[in-house]
Amino acid sequence: LHFHDCFVKGCDGSVLLDSTPGNQAEKDAAPNSSLRGFEVIDAAKTRLEQACYGVVSCADVLAFAARDALALVGGSSYQVPAGRRDGNVSVAGETNGNLPPPTANVNQLNQIFGSKGLSQAQMVALSGAHTVGMAQCSSFSSRLYSYGTNGGKDPSMDPAYLATLSTQCPQSGASQPVAMDPVTPNTFDTNYYANVAANRGLLASDQALLADNSTAAQVLGYTTSPGTFQTDFASAMVAMGAIGVLTGNQGTIRTNCRVVG
């Protein structure tokens, strides 16, 4: 949630705003269809407003919640700079070109992350967030059934993993969300990088990190140095949390994160 907020109009809580009759908001754009946890932010904001009305922005609540969620699944906690203010504009179309697609290669990832002031090394570290959570079949099914010009299977994917995914995501019929990290799906660790190194990256944009020499070196380095990954990830999260922030008299402090005000 924090990542998808920060990459569209900066970390201004715009991803939390609901659509209105005259406007489709970011949260209802296709790239955000699998976002979850809005009710967690609502609950925290309600408690905060009771304790200190109009002081803590929705953008800050989201930044703190991301840090705490990370710690709850085994990640390193870190200090979150506060003082963001909330934007009051949320347009679904602005997700286009700002959120990296699941098909992105390293050059495309570098372009998108670079446009936000983040380095390639920070991009590789932040990709490690995919060690927890789920993905919709639609975000990777092309690797199973319609890859390349011949429309076959992605040859860069481990065949056994591809076979497993094909049973979880049949070409026709209902499918369930799939764990990004099938080994430890609810633990923040370096298994994401071990999976990529074993050609078991779920998204094409995950596996792409092994196809580039410089990103591959970082991927392999993290598999043997989990402490380095945790430190790098926390540092990159702080940098990401500073993208395009509104401060001072800019923006507002929303009392309801879903509604402009």
Q: Which residues are catalytic, by number?
A: 4
Q: Look up residue 17 and give its DSSP letter.
A: P
Residue 231 assigned ligand-binding role: no
Question: Is 34 annotated to bind ligand?
Answer: no
Please indicate if the annotation marks 252 as binding a ligand: no
Is 26 annotated in a binding site? The answer is yes
Q: Is 190 assigned a ligand-binding role in the annotation?
A: no
* 217 CB neighbour count, 10 Å cutoff: 11
Contact 176, 134 (CB under 8 A): no
Q: How far apart are CA 18 and CA 260, in angstroms?
A: 9
Backbone angles phi, psi at 50, to 5 degrees: -70, -35
Partners of 178 in the β-ladder: 135
Tell me: is residue 181 an annotated ligand-binding position: yes
Which structure tokens are listed for 30?
């296709």
Whether 182 has a binding-site annotation, put simply, is no
Query: Is 8 part of any known ligand binding site?
Result: yes
Question: Is the separation of the CB atoms in 38 and 28 below 8 Å?
Answer: no
**Residue ranges for the binding site for Ca(2+)?**
5, 8, 10, 12, 14, 26, 131, 181, 184, 189
**Residue ranges for the binding site for heme b?**
130
**Residue ranges for the binding site for substrate?**
100
